Amino acid sequence: YLLDPATDERQLVLDLSGEVSTDSERGLLGVEFSPDGRWLYSSSTDLGGTSRLQAHELVGGFPLDPGQAVPIMEIDQPFSNHNGGDLATGPDGHLYWAMGDGGSAGDPEDNGQDPQPLLGNILRIDPRPLDRGYVVPSDNPFVGNPDLLDEIWLWGLRNPWKISFDPATGDLWIGDVGQGDWEEITRVDAGSGGWNLGWNCFEGFASFAGCEVLNHLEPTVVYDHGQGVSVTGGHVYRGSSIPGLGGAYVFGDFGSGTIWTLPAGATQAETTSLNVGGLSAFGQDPDGELWTVSIGGEVSRIVAG
């Protein structure tokens, strides 16, 4: 839907409900616009559970016809959970697609540390809707490396649930859902690819499978399951309506509804008084102000208290 905050009016943009599986953790998992505004990209699981990236041309007004979707990329999923699926356009103009480890528990197929499957990674591509596909940027970190796939930007993830770029610095922020003990947030320096984020050798800072990791990038901050059970990644606040929050990363937890802020340069998050039940996503408007989305359908703007 296209929402007008001034009037609360909404307009249907795209309805994929007849083509998307919604059991377990499947569904419509991410949307993003192309830098030129011509295409809307959608990330979803089809009726068979396969992750798919599609392009929808923004011509002729709304609603868009799902039958005119252009296929860009598909990834098979061995289980119904840990699909990841979020999309974000980087400051470089490339599209980043976050993929979970394929599901079940404990990464039974070792996708997080296997350099060959596309699962358990953040992928970086240039979609080519007119050619019904994509190309790999030539400066991706593993281009030409026979041991890792060209599309991979970062690897060693469990279930990245929401990624975002800081519009001021270009840093990439990732919320990665933990297994049984730790939820983690990781900041990746702008333009810095090739890192291994450690799953399933590590959960947070703690050893999990007991293996070693080369080129390991540890989390920026973690929290235990006494505070929440499923992290929802957010955004760095770059708005102007909340004094003192500028430059802080704002994130939360789906299970507890707690929302935290992580001031710039800090490694300890601060708890806010906000709580959103079923917190499934954050949004950022053109003014840098933040919004929350609940799985129940509520959309709310975060304002100064």
Backbone angles phi, psi at 129, to 5 degrees: -55, -35
Which residue in 85, 78, 21 sits closest to 48, CA to CA? 21
Residue percentage of the chain with pLDDT more than 90: 94
The CA-based diameter of the chain, rounded to the nearest angstrom, is: 55
Extended beta strands in 46-181, E state:
51-57, 70-75, 84-89, 95-99, 121-128, 133-135, 152-155, 160-165, 172-176
Angle ∠(102,108,111) on CA atoms, nearest 5: 50
Beta bridge partners of 204: none
The predicted pLDDT at position 7 comes to 87
pLDDT digits (tens), the chain, 305 positions: 998 878 889 999 999 999 999 999 999 999 999 999 999 999 999 999 999 999 999 998 899 999 999 999 999 999 999 999 999 999 999 999 999 999 999 999 999 999 889 999 999 999 999 999 999 999 999 999 999 999 999 999 999 999 999 999 999 999 999 999 999 999 999 999 999 999 999 999 999 999 999 999 999 999 999 999 999 999 999 999 999 999 999 999 999 999 999 999 998 999 999 999 999 999 999 999 999 999 999 999 999 98
The DSSP result for 220-283, as a single string, is: SEEEETTT-SSEEEEEE---SSSTT-TT-EEEEETTT-EEEEE-TT-SS-EEEEEE-TTEEEEE
3-state secondary structure at position 132: coil
Burial of 111 (0-12, 13-18, 19+ CB in 10 A): buried
Report the alpha-carbon distance of residue 14 to residue 20 in Å, rounded.
12
The predicted pLDDT at position 8 comes to 82
Q: What is the pLDDT of residues 166-195, one digit of tens each?
A: 999 999 999 999 999 999 999 999 999 999
For residue 210, CA distances in Å to 1, 203, 206, 207 come to: 45, 10, 9, 6
Distance between the two ends of the chain, CA-based, in angstroms? 28
Letter for the amino acid at 12?
Answer: L
Q: Say what the pTM is.
A: 0.97
Report the alpha-carbon distance of residue 236 to residue 144 in Å, rounded.
34
Beta bridge partners of 9: 4
Query: 172-176 and 202-203 as β-strands: parallel, antiparallel, unpaired?
Result: unpaired
